[in-house]
Structure 1
Amino acid sequence: MVQRIPFIVTELGPDVDPFMLHIHAAVAQKERERIAQRTREALAAAKARGQILGNATIGQVRKAEADLHAEHFRPILAPLRDLPAKRISVILNERGVTTPRGGKWQANQVIRMLGRLNIAVLNSARPT
């Protein structure tokens, strides 16, 4: 609104007065603040009751799952360990091997995966 970009609020229709838009924006902002305050109060009350918030072990569990999933790539990556990470990523993409999330490989992903598998990789820049 400050930059004078026209927009339509579906609840108010296309011909709404800018003043009404400001009023609705202010009310929405106030409601967001009230929701945040109620959430903070509820979490503080739960903590005061002794309720455990969050999961302290989730990071360890997810790391173990990632390590287990990475083992699938060991037989694919181990023979390529003497190549630079950039070259490995190109080879994996040419072979149609997707990343754990189903995408294309980048050098940094190869480096992280090799690190997870404790396989050393050459730096992309070769000494002359």
Structure 2
Amino acid sequence: MCRVTAYYRVSTEGQGRSGLGLEAQRQSVRSLCASRGWDIVSEFTEVESGKRGDRPQLQAALDHARLTGAKLVVAKLDRLSRDAAFTLKLRNSGVDFTCADNPDVNRLTIGLLAVINEDERERISERTKAALAAAKARGQRLGNPNGAAALRRAGKGNAASVAAIKGNADAFAEGLRDTVGRIRAEGTTSLAGIASELNARHMKTARGGKWHASSVRNLLARLAA
């Protein structure tokens, strides 16, 4: 029987305390192991950004897997890292690992997926910057695009200011359209689930904060409009 060391990661302490994101990862890994007849012998949980390379729980999971000959299993590749070089280093560490959402990858394809994930992250950033730059070029003022307080400050009679705020919010939402579509296509459709995925992918709200169900609802309504 294949022995498994499971590794779970969330990016914020709030997600760690609430279990938001962690339970979905556990369910994904446990479902895979049950379907394959694999035995989970150890589990490691980390609350840390995927950008950091010095993650003690990941190192402990790798050490345990190496010493016991277990397979390291994560729910998704980005739970290890969104940095291709880091993932490729893990691939060459001597530990066999796989992802519950794509369990049949091999050493070649997992390297390709790592590069694709990093490219996706960079493209998301580029699209968001381009959308905001286009809004700015049209004369729309940037900053606090979604806030009701900003709309109140603009005043009901100041149509130009209101239009600028709305245009900026539309541009920001458009930069996230592909990402949200991909998340939903992967099976995450609830507002809380989409918020968790956006936070896990280090996507910030227009104000630079964390996503919640309410902010996702507003985002989806703007994209639908």
TM-score bin (small chain):
0.3 to 0.5
Task: From the two aligned structures, give the one with the greater strand fraction.
Answer: 2
- Give the TM-score normalised by the residue count of structure 1: 0.46
Provide the TM-score with structure 2 as the length reference. Answer: 0.27
Larger Rg belongs to: 1
